[in-house]
């Protein structure tokens, strides 16, 4: 299997840690253009104890967060900051369509593609799928600042 | 063309969370209406989607008023229509 960035490399790029690091592997990476990330959803995820007892459905907000983290890998991998510091990206707004739920045991494939950008702002299209079936698609707009 | 002007004004109103009547033809987006670069990107993307056109991001700097935005949209709509 392709393994462009393993979990150690991902942790070098992203500040998020357990229990909030929501991507496990990057299998495709075109810096600043496109990234494909995998998230293996285990029954041991903390949120499943309450969402929902007896029916482990991954919260949509967590899937959006996984898309955000995949986007950050795409942004950071394409950048060598002139001032030696990574710009900070934060979500400004988004539109999402939740098509099908994600359950414990699923492997989510998140494809993120860069859209238009402006000084201080960047747009991203993201699609999450499980075994080829689309689960979420979203348009995210990020604010970036040094 | 009144419909197009109204449509574009209403698209902008939703994105920037203002009443449509506040968006006068020459009100300045950044100075008068509090539009930021994230909203400007969203306006551009919404117009592209609505009218099935593609506007290069270099044109973002020209989206400074409703009138300017309509002019940019029309420019690319006429290109699409041949």
CB-closest option in A115, A139, A141 to B38: A141
CATH fold for the domain made of A7-79+86-145: Thiol Ester Dehydrase; Chain A (3.10.129)
CATH fold for the domain made of B2-80: 1.10.1200
Question: Shortest Cα distance from A38 to chain B (angstroms)?
Answer: 28
**In terms of residues, how long is chain A?**
146
- Count how many pairs of residues, chain A against chain B, have C-beta atoms within 8 Å: 35
- For residue range B1-36, what is the model confidence (pLDDT) as tens digits? 569 999 999 999 999 999 999 999 999 999 999 999
- For residue range B53-76, what is the model confidence (pLDDT) as tens digits? 999 999 999 999 999 999 999 999
- For residue range A116-129, what is the model confidence (pLDDT) as tens digits? 998 889 999 999 99
CB-closest option in B38, B44, B57 to A92: B38
| Phi, psi (degrees; rounded to nearest 5) at A132 | 85, -5
Classify residue B31 by burial, with Cβ atoms within 10 Å: 0-12, 13-18, 19+. Answer: exposed
| Positions of A marked active-site | 51
- A13, two tokens: 């790029």
- B25, two tokens: 């033809």
- A52, two tokens: 């929902």
The yes/no answer to whether this complex scores an ipTM above 0.90 is no
| pLDDT value at residue B79 | 82
Q: In chain B, where are the structural domains located?
A: 2-80
């Amino acid at each position: 299997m392709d393994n462009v960035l393993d979990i150690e490399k991902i942790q070098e790029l992203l500040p998020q840690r357990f229990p909030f690091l929501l991507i496990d592997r990057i299998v495709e990476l075109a810096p600043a253009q496109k990234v494909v990330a995998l998230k293996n959803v285990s029954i041991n995820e903390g949120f499943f104890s309450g969402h929902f007892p007896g029916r482990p459905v991954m919260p949509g907000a967590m899937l959006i967060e996984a898309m955000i983290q995949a986007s950050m890998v795409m942004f950071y991998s394409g950048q060598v900051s002139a001032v030696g510091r990574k710009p900070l990206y934060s979500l400004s707004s988004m539109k999402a369509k939740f098509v099908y739920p994600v359950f414990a045991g699923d492997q989510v494939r998140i494809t993120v593609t860069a859209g238009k950008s402006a000084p201080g702002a960047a747009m991203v299209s993201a699609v999450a799928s499980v075994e080829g079936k689309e689960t979420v698609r979203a348009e995210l707009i990020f604010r970036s600042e040094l | 063309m009144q419909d197009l002007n109204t449509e574009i004004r209403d698209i902008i109103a939703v994105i920037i969370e203002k009443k449509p009547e506040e968006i006068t033809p020459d009100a300045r987006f950044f100075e008068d209406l509090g539009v930021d670069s994230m909203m400007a990107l969203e306006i551009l993307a919404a117009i592209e989607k609505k009218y099935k056109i593609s506007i290069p991001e270099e044109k973002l700097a020209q989206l400074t008023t409703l009138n300017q935005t309509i002019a940019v949209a029309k420019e690319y709509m006429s290109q699409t229509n041949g």
